[in-house]
Amino acid sequence: MQKFRNLTILTIAAATVAACGPSTPDAAPTTATVAQAPSSTASAAPSSGPGRPATCGTDLLAKLSMREKAGQLLMVGVKDAADARRAVQQGVGGVFIGSWTDRSVFSGGTLQAVAKAGKVPAMVSVDEEGGRVSRVPGANLVSARQLAKTMTVAQARAEGERVGRLMKSMGITVDFAPDADVSAQPADSVIGDRSYSDDPAVVVKYSQAFAAGLRDGGVYPVFKHFPGHGSSSGDSHQGGVSVPPLNQLKQKDLIPFRAAVDAGDAGVMVGHLTVPGLTEPGLPTSLSPATMRLLRDGAGYGAKRFDGPIFTDDLSGMKAITNEFSVPQAVTKALEAGADVALWISTDQLGAALDAVEAAVKAKRIPAKQLDDSVLRVARAKHAVSC
């Protein structure tokens, strides 16, 4: 996921066709100049680097119970406005608007009201990549690959701003885009035309530009799918998926994520991938402590330390997860591993997931400091704290 002020972020949990897209679905290049240009004041966010006062966020933490803190790390997909409101009132940190959500939520100030229904403002999120992964009425955004082929980098930033302003007007505060995967897959494959290019330098320029445009428009961007889904063996909606070994990812797939972390002002979504040389046996990247450390520390792939929020991909609609874990198990394992936000597609198991995370905190499988740090990362992203 840093300079993103005046943004209240609501995040809506991803779905099978959402965060990861359709179910049938050695020096790094520097970040493009256009992406590094300052965004408008309205989209600036507080820095997430070191050097904050020791008291930063203590007022927020003091007013939340352990269970309420746990809820801030959960994002759920919702059916309609009533479902979203109930979830926020139960304490979730965000809701996700999917392809199945009643489209009336996009009008009449509905999502703005949902965001204010809890003790802490909620994130409202959506998948708006363009092309076949488009959820916002009127976005009219082409696929990433088409955008990179037909527009300049400056035009890509302008498109990001246009769509960002539209989403902000509807009450959406987080977009699970851009897709930073480097891929030469056919257009209709799991990544395919969701990728800007099979050239990491092109992906860096266009993903950075589009993210900068979203910030200009007042929406928080989230780069996906770390550490790189572009050369995957299959579709994680359908089962386990492997990608090349970590040493190979460093030469290509990780380059856009390195640029994203170095540039700042965004979250990062971790996919459900098996990576030789990185992931532990039986654990995809979204549940892998080694993957979370790689992203958080940065040194293992030449990036800066990342202190923004780490989101998981959907934990309930993809067989790469559900073949092995229940939703409460997957949610808890992801947070234990070091993710800040566990994302899934339905409110049906929200109570059970909250119970499981609370139990993990009490058992110290999620240390109290780790819980607080995650709560504050999420709070900074949605401007619930300003330091």
3-state percent breakdown (helix, strand, coil) of the chain, nearest 5: 40, 10, 50
One-letter amino acid at 17 equals: V
Q: Are strands 310-312 and 267-270 parallel, antiparallel or unpaired?
A: parallel
**Cα 219 versus chain centre, distance:** 12
- Spatial separation of the C-alpha atoms in residues 130 and 140, rounded to whole Å: 7
Strand partners, 133: 130
The CA dihedral of 189, 212, 45, 298, to the nearest 10 degrees, is: 60
Residues involved in catalysis? 237, 313
- Spatial separation of the C-alpha atoms in residues 179 and 203, rounded to whole Å: 9
Strand partners, 174: 125, 220
- Spatial separation of the C-alpha atoms in residues 276 and 248, rounded to whole Å: 10
* Paired tokens of 38: 């300052």
**Cα 107 versus chain centre, distance:** 24
